[in-house]
Structures are given as structure tokens and as C-alpha cells.
């Protein structure tokens, strides 16, 4: 009965053409690792956003009578224990996650904006402009950026906006290269020629015809950039250059936890696990998206 | 070939110059100076000190002086370690950093490539999934998380290896830092190697080699390996940059007396010359490495050579 129903459903659905995106979604959801990652990531975001409401503690409440409480701590409601100042690690891990995720997403958007605009312009105009613009990217590409970012943080203090800008400024280079390559391939296609023939301006062609067709590649790249950015932010925070106390991020928490890990391993293990699981999910989704959107496999 | 070398070299010089300019002026834009102490110094002593280190000159003059020295290989005196020149500090740390860095590089290359080849040969089977899951884990866990976890496991719990420090620089001292530094690179290299190996194994000339009846071993080692290694080769530049950046953290965590540990501390203490020294030294190293990899790529890949 069930089989027949499914067969009927498939037969009914078969003649309907599938769009590129429906096709990609179907293939993405068929990828179990990616699907599981999406589920875990959604749960993670829900936990990070809503979780702190279910704890009686705040992320900056200091309790010197309750330092280094080991989990599981049900009576004090410290689900993940407390740190060296008696602050609740459950709430701190989740609040730190908010900062880490926010930095990841905002900085990726910064690099997305710069990278797509730059790459599409270089690719579309081609020739000498392209050569010049990409030579600039080559020169910047070879810079050991981590050193400059560390200097930047030392110079201008630990400002959250600065972290976005600094990290975004590194990552747009890759984006620009990818977008340029795609644009070069796209700009000689018929629909672009048709648009040009009917007198559409260059800026409008780039915005209306080139960029929408780049979305697939860009989306894959964005999913793979977010974990990289989170990694860089946590790297900075680990060095003590990221977000400022009492605010925190996963990198900062790992840094604190690593200092006293023989006495209080939970202070390291919880934030480290959250960080690793999140990065893991983003990487899997990115890989899954790339496979799903790859025309070679279709 | 010579043309390619000149072209690459021509873009390496502005990169290095840009790095120097950015690092120099960013450092100088920082509030505070190298002589800030708990008690502020009497103004006349401060003035004498600044005069001695040429800090009273206009900035462009200081920059010109610095570049002039750097070109001749003199990176100036350190402010923080007043008995040492930056050259001495870097030379002191170099053997240690080099051992750890090269160790990590060699380990990453061998293990990463081997794992990638195994995964490619067992495409879509258990060992493939196992290697790729491990690689994804390696990519998702940052160096500074792996390092404390390794210490927790091998030093604190099992007590097999020292938790840090640098006694004689032997294998026992090197094991944990080298592994921690190499793991993320192993993961990336394994994924790269697997991808390119699968592509090569699907190509026509491999089918020809197989059809001729060559042993699998010969097909892989003689025919598939060399072209499959090309993407790995081109990743060596970024890999070396990653290892050098990672060493800043690793040397701090394990208390290794190398070059990387100076960097953050020097930047916080406004030790202008030491910061610049590390940036110049590592920057040159990374740019030089990228240059060499590009050249090697040209030598090995006939398509690039022909251009």
C-alpha cells in the first residue's frame, strides 16, 4: 500500500521540471552528513539564542563562593560548572557562541560585499582593468595577514567592529578571485549579449545578470568562509586580543579553560566542543552544497 | 622560465614593501611607547632615550632609517630586551622554530598525502569515509584547542610526554608541539590529495596504463602520483604560512623559546623593532617560499613551462 502510494506520488511528480535550486536542494538533503549538520546547526543556534533564558545566571555574575564548581551541578543550576570567578559556564558558553557566530556571519558578509563587487567588476570589464585589479589581489594575497591583524588589534584596541572589518578584509581576496573567474565565463553568454544589445548599462548588467548567476558558487564559498572566520576570531581571542571581558567568545573561553585544564577540564571541554561542532557542521554543509551545485555530477 | 621568474619576483617586491609600510606605520600609530612604565620617567631622561633610539625624528625619516638598516640585514636594537639586538633574538630563536616548523611540515606532508591516497584508492568505501571524517575533524578543531587537549591527554593524564618547555630539543620535547601544529595541515592536505588523486585515477591515460596490464602499484607510483601531487605542491605556500602563524600560538602554549612567541608580547610592549623584525623575517620567509613553490610548479608542470 505504502509502496504503491510512493510510486504514484513519484509518477505524479515526474513530469514537472525541476529548477536548478530544487534540484540542488534535493541533492543536498540526500547527503546525510550535510542534512545532519543542518539539523545540528539549527539546534545549536536555537540553544545559543534561547538557552541563556533557562538559566538563573547571567554571563557576568561573579560568585567567589562558587568557583570551579564541577559539572553536573543540578542544584546550583550550573549545567556546565563554573569558572575561576564562579561565573556560570553554561551561560558563558552560549553567550560566547553568540559573539562567535555573529562575528562569523557579519565578517563573511563584509568579505562577500567587497569580494563580489571587486571580482565581478574585474571579470566583467576584463583586459587591462582586470589585469591591474587582479595584480593588486596577487600582491595582497601574498601578505602574511595574521601578523597584520594581530598588529591591528594591538593598535586600535579590542573593538568588535574592528574584528569584523579586519577579518572581512582578509577573506574578500578569495571571494574576488572566484567571482572573477565565474564572471569571465559568464560575460560572453547569450543573455548578457542580449542585455547589452538592448542597451542595458554595465552596472545594471553586473547587478541584474551577472551576480544572480554567481549565487551558487558564492553560497558554497560563504558557507566555507564562516567557519574560517570563526576560527580567526577565536585565534585572536585566544591570544587575548579578541573580545573584551566580561564579554566572551568561544576562543576566549578556550583560552581561559586551557590555563587551568588539569584542575578544571570542563572549562576547556565545553566551549571547545561547541566550537568544534559548529565548525564541523559548517564545513560539512559547505562540502554538501558544493557537491549539490556541481553541474558535473548532475 | 626566466620571464616567469622575473614576473613573480616583480610582484614579490611590492608585497614585501607593502607589508613593511603597513606594519611600521600601524605599530607607530599605536598609543603608548616602548618606554611606558608604571612610574613615568622624568622628561629629560625620556628625551635622551628617544634621541638615542632616533624616536625624536620625523616618522618618514625613521622609516627610511629602518629600511636602510633592514636592507643591510640590520634589524636594530630591541627595546624590551635592551641587551640584545633584534638580529640576536631572531637568530637565537631560529633553530628552535625551524625544528618545530620543519618537523610539522614534513609530518603533515607524509601523513596528509598518504591518508589522501588511501582515501582515493578506497573511494566511497569505509576507509575513505573514515579518513575524510577524521580530516574534517582536524580542520574543525583549531590548533589552540588541539594543543591543550594533547597536553591534557599525553602529559597530564598519561604522563608520557612533558607538558611544555624545551629541555634539550629532543623528540620528547618536539612530539606534542609538532603534532599539534601539523594536524590541521594534515587534514587539508589529505582532502586535497584525495580530490586530485580521484580525478587523476579517472583520466584516460590511467585507464591506458591499466589496460596495458601494469601492476596497480606501478600505475599509482609511476603514473598517477606525479600529476596528483601538483595541487598539493601549490598548497605548500599557504601551508607554510599556516604553520608559521600557528607557531605563534604553539610556542606560547608549550613555552618553546622560538621566534613566534616574541611577536604578540613585543606588540603589546610596543617593542617596535622586535615586532618589525619578526614581521620582516617571517614575511620574507613566506613570500620567498611562495616564490620558490611557483618556480617549482613551473619546472614540474609542462603546461606552465610552455607558456
Note whether residue B238 is domain-resident.
yes
Q: Is the pLDDT of residue B135 over 50?
A: yes
What confidence score (pLDDT) does residue A292 get?
A: 81
Note whether residue B10 is domain-resident.
no
Note whether residue B174 is domain-resident.
yes
What confidence score (pLDDT) does residue A17 get?
A: 60
Q: How many CB atoms lie within 10 A of CB A270?
A: 22
**CATH code of the domain containing B157:** 1.10.3720.10
Query: Which tops the pLDDT comparison, B164 or A220?
Result: A220
Q: Is the CB of residue A248 less than 8 Å away from at least one CB of chain B?
A: no
Contact residues on chain B for A158, CB-CB shorter than 8 A? none
Q: Is the CB of residue B282 less than 8 Å away from at least one CB of chain A?
A: yes
Least CA distance to B145: which residue of chain A? A272
Note whether residue B167 is domain-resident.
yes
Contact residues on chain A for B12, CB-CB shorter than 8 A? 142
Q: How far apart are CA B289 and CA A259, in angstroms?
A: 35
* A254 vs B29, B145, B286: nearest CB: B145
Least CA distance to A285: which residue of chain B? B136
Note whether residue B192 is domain-resident.
yes
What would you report as the CA-atom Rg of chain B, rounded to the nearest whole angstrom? 24
Q: Do A254 and B29 touch (CB under 8 A)?
A: no
Note whether residue B189 is domain-resident.
yes
Q: Looking at residue B220, what DSSP letter applies? A: I
Backbone phi, then psi, for A82, in 5-degree steps?
A: -130, 165
Nearest to B275 by CA among A162, A152, A206, A268: A152
* Mutation site for B-interface testing, chosen from A144, A264, A277 by largest number of B Cβ within 10 Å: A144
ipTM above 0.85, yes or no: no
Note whether residue B58 is domain-resident.
no
Looking at the complex, report in whole angstroms how far the Cα of residue B136 sits from the nearest Cα belonging to chain A: 7
Number of domains forming the structure of chain B: 1
Structural domain of residue B105, as residue ranges?
96-268
Note whether residue B27 is domain-resident.
no
* Mutation site for A-interface testing, chosen from B144, B155, B247, B250 by largest number of A Cβ within 10 Å: B144
Looking at the complex, report in whole angstroms how far the Cα of residue B133 sits from the nearest Cα belonging to chain A: 10
Query: Torsion over CA of B13, B18, B21 and B25, rounded to 10 degrees?
Result: -170
Q: What percent of chain A has pLDDT over 90?
A: 6
Q: What domains can be seen in chain A, in order of their start residue?
A: 21-51+87-293 (1.10.3720.10)
Which residues 60-89 of B are in CB contact (within 8 Å) with A?
none
Going by pLDDT thresholds of 50, 70 and 90, the confidence category of residue A60 is confident
Q: Do B248 and A239 touch (CB under 8 A)?
A: yes
What confidence score (pLDDT) does residue A254 get?
A: 85
Backbone phi, then psi, for A88, in 5-degree steps?
A: -75, 125
Which residues 73-102 of A are in CB contact (within 8 Å) with B?
none
Predicted TM-score (pTM) of the model is: 0.81
Going by pLDDT thresholds of 50, 70 and 90, the confidence category of residue B47 is confident
pLDDT digits (tens, 9 = 90+) for A266-290: 888 888 889 989 998 998 888 888 8
Amino acid at each position: 500500500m505504502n509502496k504503491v502510494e510512493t510510486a504514484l506520488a513519484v509518477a505524479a511528480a515526474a513530469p514537472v521540471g525541476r529548477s536548478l535550486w530544487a534540484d540542488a536542494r534535493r541533492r543536498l538533503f540526500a547527503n546525510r552528513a550535510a542534512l545532519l549538520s543542518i539539523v545540528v546547526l539549527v539546534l545549536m543556534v536555537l540553544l545559543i539564542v534561547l538557552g541563556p533564558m533557562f538559566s538563573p545566571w547571567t554571563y557576568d555574575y561573579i560568585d567567589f563562593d562558587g568557583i570551579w564548581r564541577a559539572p553536573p551541578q543540578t542544584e546550583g543550576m550550573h549545567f556546565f560548572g563554573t569558572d575561576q570567578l564562579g561565573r556560570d559556564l553554561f551561560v558563558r558558553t552560549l553567550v560566547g557562541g553568540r559573539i562567535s557566530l555573529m562575528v562569523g556571519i557579519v565578517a563573511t558578509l563584509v568579505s562577500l560585499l567587497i569580494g563580489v563587487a571587486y571580482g565581478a567588476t574585474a571579470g566583467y570589464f576584463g583586459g587591462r582593468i582586470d589585469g591591474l585589479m587582479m595584480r593588486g589581489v596577487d600582491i595582497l594575497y601574498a601578505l602574511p595577514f595574521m601578523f597584520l591583524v594581530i598588529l591591528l588589534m594591538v593598535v586600535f584596541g579590542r573593538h568588535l567592529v574592528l574584528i569584523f572589518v579586519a577579518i572581512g578584509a582578509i577573506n574578500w581576496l578569495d571571494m574576488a578571485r572566484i567571482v572573477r573567474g565565474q564572471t569571465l565565463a559568464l560575460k560572453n553568454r547569450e543573455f548578457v549579449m542580449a542585455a547589452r544589445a538592448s542597451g542595458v548599462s554595465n552596472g545594471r548588467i553586473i547587478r541584474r545578470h551577472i551576480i544572480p548567476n554567481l549565487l551558487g558558487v558564492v553560497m558554497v564559498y560563504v558557507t566555507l568562509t564562516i567557519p574560517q572566520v570563526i576560527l580567526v576570531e577565536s585565534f585572536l581571542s585566544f591570544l587575548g586580543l579578541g573580545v573584551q571581558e566580561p564579554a566572551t567568545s568561544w576562543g576566549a573561553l578556550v583560552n581561559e579553560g586551557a590555563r587551568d585544564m588539569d584542575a578544571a577540564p570542563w572549562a576547556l571541554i565545553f566551549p571547545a566542543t561547541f566550537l568544534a561542532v559548529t565548525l564541523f557542521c559548517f564545513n560539512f554543509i559547505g562540502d554538501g552544497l558544493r557537491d549539490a551545485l556541481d553541474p558535473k555530477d548532475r | 622560465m626566466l620571464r616567469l621568474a622575473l614576473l613573480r619576483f616583480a610582484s614579490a617586491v611590492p608585497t614585501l614593501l607593502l607589508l613593511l609600510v603597513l606594519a611600521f606605520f600601524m605599530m607607530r600609530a599605536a598609543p603608548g611607547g616602548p618606554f611606558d612604565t608604571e612610574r613615568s620617567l622624568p622628561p629629560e631622561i625620556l628625551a635622551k632615550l628617544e634621541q638615542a633610539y632616533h624616536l625624536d625624528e620625523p616618522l618618514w625619516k625613521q622609516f627610511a632609517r629602518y629600511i636602510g638598516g633592514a636592507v643591510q640585514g640590520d634589524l636594530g636594537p630591541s627595546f624590551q630586551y635592551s641587551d640584545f639586538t633584534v638580529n640576536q633574538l631572531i637568530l637565537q630563536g631560529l633553530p628552535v622554530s625551524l625544528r618545530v616548523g620543519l618537523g610539522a611540515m614534513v609530518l603533515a606532508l607524509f601523513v596528509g598525502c598518504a591518508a589522501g591516497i588511501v582515501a582515493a584508492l578506497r573511494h566511497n568505501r569505509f576507509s575513505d569515509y573514515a579518513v575524510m571524517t577524521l580530516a574534517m575533524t582536524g580542520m574543525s578543531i583549531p590548533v589552540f584547542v588541539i594543543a591543550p587537549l594533547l597536553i591534557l591527554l599525553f602529559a597530564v593524564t598519561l604522563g608520557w610526554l612533558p607538558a611544555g618547555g624545551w629541555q634539550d630539543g629532543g623528540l620528547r620535547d618536539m612530539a606534542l608541539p609538532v603534532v599539534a601544529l601539523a594536524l590541521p595541515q594534515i587534514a587539508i592536505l589529505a582532502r586535497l590529495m584525495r580530490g586530485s588523486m580521484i580525478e587523476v585515477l579517472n583520466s584516460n591515460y590511467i585507464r591506458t596504463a591499466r589496460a596495458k596490464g601494469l601492476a596497480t602499484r606501478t600505475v599509482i607510483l609511476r603514473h598517477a602520483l606525479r600529476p596528483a601531487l601538483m595541487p598539493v605542491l601549490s598548497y605548500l605556500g599557504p601551508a607554510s604560512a599556516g604553520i608559521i602563524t600557528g607557531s605563534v600560538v604553539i610556542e606560547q602554549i608549550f613555552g618553546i623559546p622560538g621566534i613566534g612567541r616574541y611577536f604578540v608580547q613585543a606588540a603589546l610592549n610596543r617593542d617596535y623593532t622586535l615586532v618589525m623584525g619578526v614581521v620582516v623575517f617571517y614575511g620574507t620567509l613566506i613570500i620567498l617560499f611562495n616564490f620558490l613553490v611557483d618556480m617549482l610548479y613551473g619546472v614540474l608542470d609542462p603546461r606552465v613551462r610552455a607558456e
